[in-house]
Amino acid sequence: MERTELIKLKCDLLINGLRLAELRTDLTKEHGWDSERAKRFQPAELKMPKEVCVQIRENSEANFRLRIMENSLVVQDKAGNIICTSDFVNLPPFGLEKTSDGTLFKDIVVYNGSCNLNFTWNYFCDYFRTKTACRFCNLTPAQDFYPEENITNSYKNAVQIADVIEIAKKYHTDPKAILTRGTPHEKHGLGGTVQILEELAKRFPFNGDNGRTKVLFTISPSKDINDVKLMYELGMHSVSFNFEVFDRGYWKAIVPGKDKHIGRDLWEASLIEAVKYFGEGRVFSAMIAGLEPRHTLLQGVEWCTERGIIPIVVPFSPETGSEFEGFRPPTHKWMTDTMRMSADIILKKMSLIGTEDYWLKEAPICAECFTGGFIYDIIKENASLVNYHSGHKMNKTQVLSAAKDLINLN
């Protein structure tokens, strides 16, 4: 199967989900699992051939399903045809280590693919209290829907985050991380961001633009535009102020908290200000494909790329507990066409993003390990970039010794 076909399959799996019922039957009937264990089995990510990795979103009505055939994990269509082989993405060897306060890493960070560390370090967003939450978001209510995950949903402090990155640096040449949080009450300003930046700067000193720890902070700008400079000076590598939707009418309706508390003009000004300090390639804004007409979304992609801001275009996936629960995403064709058009604009206006050098030296995230979207898979494919994970391999000696330790522990 060609890589472009696998990327299309990734789109289908993200918007329509994946059936897991048959896999659970295979596990009980042919691999000796008891039914309770199989029922609880919720794999997070799938690695398909040619380094195409995708989040697993279970849906009993999905177009594709997972099976175990002759001891191999395969993706099948509804008629039972095997589409491709696949594998689960395992925890990295340091996944079971602990922070200095004894918390398991797996309760601090989610590992996306093999390179991206994904921290949601504060699930509290004040917009849920003020009833102005973004309509597609379930961040704070998710704590009630997934009570068994309450430990992982608890607040993660600066030392815990730095502990994880410090260990990851022993295995990866250059680990990359995304740090996400809800928006704090306005009196709390940057709400813990400064403490994290100070801890990272203490552990991993940097010199000007060089040597900054590759972390993408997805946060709201504050009311004081001078905070953009402060964040840069404290050592932040990259920042994402997410539009979510670009059209101003949809913005008011879908992200009322952002509109009321920060306002659209300051949001745009903060993004432009950020490029002044961080530079092209280190400022981002996420936009959700499927919440507004295609042409306004593409206007947003143009607006960003003309100003040196990288759009993170992600497919809409209605979340449990959000006000869009039960909605449907657009069709597969709408989504793939829209992503291709967005990728064309990005490559045309920001040629930097189509270079191996960018993904190797500058990018705070790994394109292939961005498992919740496929815009960067398309961009790399269209730019003929084949250095998947940017040659970002784990240190083999360290991995082997960690594996031996784990075997001894068991």
| Residues binding ligand SF4 (CB under 6 A) | 125, 127, 133-134, 137, 139, 182-183, 257
**C-alpha span between 24 and 37 (Å, rounded):** 9
Of the pair 324, 370, the CB lying nearest ligand SF4 is at 324
Any bridge partners for residue 112, and if so which? Answer: 116
Smallest distance from the beta carbon of 95 to ligand SF4, in angstroms?
Answer: 26
Name which of 181 and 380 has its Cβ closer to ligand SF4.
Answer: 181
The pairing of strands 64-69 and 52-55 is: unpaired
> With respect to ligand SF4, which residue has the nearer C-beta, 133 or 177?
133
User: Which C-beta is closer to ligand SF4: that of 108 or that of 125?
Assistant: 125
Alpha helix (H) residue ranges in 150-293: 158-171, 193-203, 226-233, 248-254, 256-261, 264-278
Closest to ligand SF4 by CB, 257 vs 281, is 257
Other Cβ atoms within 10 Å of 187 Cβ, number: 7
From the list 315, 329, 334, the residue with the least C-alpha distance to 374 is 315
Shortest Å distance, C-beta 384 to ligand SF4: 35
What is the nearest approach in angstroms of ligand SF4 to the Cβ of residue 218?
A: 8
**Least Cβ distance, residue 15 to ligand SF4 (angstroms):** 19
Q: Three-class SS of residue 56?
A: coil
At 19 the three-state DSSP class reads strand
Residues written for the chain:
410
Separation of alpha carbons 104 and 65, rounded Å: 32
Nearer to ligand SF4 by Cβ, of 75 and 271: the residue is 271
Of 199, 182, 59, the closest CA to residue 126 belongs to 182
Distance CA 199, CA 192 (A): 11
| Tokens (6 digits) for 322 | 């959000």
Q: At its nearest, how many Å lie between ligand SF4 and the CB of residue 112? A: 18
CA distance 375 to 372: 10
- The 3-state DSSP class for residue 225 equals coil
- Tokens coding 347: 């490559």
Report the residue number, 64 or 267, with the smaller CB distance to ligand SF4. 267
Q: How far is the CB of 372 from ligand SF4 (least distance, A)?
A: 14
What string of DSSP letters covers 131-154?
T---TT--TTTHHHH-GGGTTTTS
Please say which residue, 103 or 130, places its beta carbon nearer to ligand SF4: 130
φ/ψ region of 179 (left if φ > 0, alpha if ψ in -120 to 50, else beta) reads: beta
> Nearer Cβ to ligand SF4, position 105 or 251?
251
Q: What is the dihedral of CA 143, 146, 151, 152, to 10 degrees?
A: -90
Least Cα distance to 390 among 356, 365, 352 occurs for: 356
Quick one: 55 or 132, whose CB is closer to ligand SF4?
132
CB of 382: closest distance to ligand SF4 in angstroms? 29
The count of other CB atoms within 10 Å of the CB of residue 295 is 9
